[in-house]
Amino acid sequence: MSPIAITLIVLIAAIALFVWNKVPVGLVAIGVALALYFTGVIGFEQTIAGFGDPVIIFIAALFVVGEGLDATGVTTWAGQQLTRRAGTKRSTIVVLVSLLVAALTAVISVNGAVAALVPMAVVLAIRIRQPPSQLLMPLAFAAHAGSLLLLSGTPVNLLISELADDATGRPIGYAEFALVGIPLLAGTILVLVFLGPRLLPHRMAEHAPRDLSQHAETLAHQYSLDLEPGQAALDRETGLTEVVVPPRSEFIGETVFPGMVTESGELVIVAVQRGGEDQGRTVLAAGDVMLLQGTWDALTERTVDPNVVVVDEPASVRRQAVPLSGRAWSAIVILVGMVALLATGLVPPAIAALLAAGAMVLLRVVTVAQAHRSISWTTLILVAGMIPLSTAIQVSGAADLIAGGIVDVLGSASPYLLVLGISVVTIVLGQLISNMATALILAPIAVAIAGETGISPLPLLMAVAVSAAASFLTPVATPANTMVLGPGGYRFGDYWKLGLPLIAVFLLVATFVVPLFWPF
């Protein structure tokens, strides 16, 4: 069997497994790389090259940078500033939320921005007496548009930039993506403002993220804490958290009292309640609630215990109730430094991101453990495993074969038709599998089409980048879409109603705006 046939079979099998969604995506990606190796399509070096690719380093480092901004409350603070100034007009709120999530996405990625702003969006929706379903899907969709504002908005951008460099000797610049990102964001906001109210469901979710921004006042009232006027029960260094004593806890039968220092010496029991009533010295029973005080790090570490159940995670409380906490300004300075390095091109993007991630740990913005937890290993394995398939599509001749077929169908007279064709294929595939996997499959085909027709590969590659971000039709197309599914009370069929007009916007930009800045 020829290398082309083997590559196409592996490609089809990978797409089928991704769509089937019964096998972990990381396992599928590794299986793809191994299948290509054992069939002789690619060699050993090409098989493992994905794990050392600069894209992988860049993605991993950005996860750490995003965690630093989130853990110190920078993203929450930005959301709270918007909450205070947004007013009550829906259209104004949609515009401001879209701009905020797009700006955050541009520097910390889609998933990080959406995860950080979901609670804020729920609070805003309730404030204007709207169900969260009217605001959460616009949040996710605006983030996709924002991913094209800067190179750091999505790993797809870096992949496209590197391929452009390989094909033409010139990468796509850090802020050059904004040439299409700004029109995309403007078009997306117009659709969200004018069509959103009619196309989005008016439905309340059974479970929505809790608003913890006023948690200090809530605890003070619940436990009758005697605070001086103007004093915050929570600050940047110390916090409070509630824990419940579950059945069969080893703490049952222990004598405790307010003011008691725990065995670790790091936490103080501020109050004990049973059935909502304050207790003095008491013997713990199942169902008792204790209010604990200590440093945020101690609260996080000491409440990970099978003998207690945490009511609200200390990290979540800190991020919402104490914005700009700890080393927030260090995180901001590090972010600005990374953006400056990326914008000026003084060092490769992966190095800039690594320097920023290292600084986050070195300056104790995040701990080593936090840095490890922040990295989505599934994402890294997916990308690393699919890079060999992208290589195989190129070296086996499969890209030329597919490109020739597309050119035969669409013709070579109109390059706009070729851009439209590759964009439609990218969008369709992007609804079924991850946008990164889609870009890895179609980017080499785009380069081959350019070689077949004698046009520049840049407009075709940028069309792939734009179209890969148009994952709007299903809740499983991207993690960001999935994040808002539950809090928004959405159903599977809700996405395509608003998604189709947005896809039309992305197709128009890919087909007609991209060639204005990257001519054929």
Q: The whole model's pTM is what?
A: 0.82
Q: Quick one: pLDDT band at residue 229, thresholds 50, 70, 90?
A: very low
**In b/e form, how buried is each residue of 291-328, taking b as 16+ CB within 10 angstroms?**
bbbbebebbbbbbeeeebebebebbbbbbbbbbbbbbb
Give the per-residue pLDDT at 209. 64
Range 179-206 average pLDDT: 92
List the one residue out of 205, 202, 212 whose CA is nearest residue 130: 202
Model pLDDT for residues 137-156, shown as the tens digit of each residue = 999 999 999 999 999 999 99
Of residues 76 and 484, more confidently modeled = 484
| Mean pLDDT for the stretch of residues 215-243 | 77
Helices (H) and strands (E) in the chain, counts: 25, 7
d(Cα 178, Cα 182) in Å, to the nearest integer?
5
Relative to beta strand 238-244, strand 309-310 is antiparallel
- Tell me: the pLDDT tens digits for 388-437? 999 999 899 999 999 999 898 888 779 999 999 999 999 999 988 888 88
Dist CA 387 CA 234 (whole Å): 47
Token representation of residue 506 = 């992305």
* Domain-wise residue ranges, the chain: 59-210+326-376, 227-311
Return d(Cα 493, Cα 476) in angstroms, integer: 12
Q: What is the mean pLDDT of the chain?
A: 90
- The CATH superfamily of 227-311 is Regulator of K+ conductance, C-terminal domain (3.30.70.1450)
**pLDDT value of position 207:** 65
pLDDT in tens, 459-489: 999 999 999 999 999 887 888 998 898 888 8
CA distance 48 to 37: 10
Please state, in angstroms and rounded to a whole number, the distance separating the CA atoms of residues 90 and 427: 30
With beta carbons less than 8 A apart as the criterion, state whether 292 and 268 touch: yes
Q: Does residue 275 surpass a pLDDT of 70?
A: yes
Other beta carbons within 10 angstroms of residue 62's beta carbon come to: 27
d(CA 168, CA 447): 10
pLDDT in tens, 362-388: 999 988 988 998 888 888 998 899 999
Angle at 207 between CA 203 and CA 208, to 5 degrees: 80
Report the share of the chain in percent with pLDDT over 70.
Answer: 97
User: Residue 63 CB: number of other CB atoms within 10 A?
Assistant: 24
Who wins on pLDDT, 33 or 204?
Answer: 33
- Coil, helix or strand for 14? helix
pLDDT of 328 reads 87
Separation between Cα atoms, residue 16 and residue 36, nearest integer Å: 17
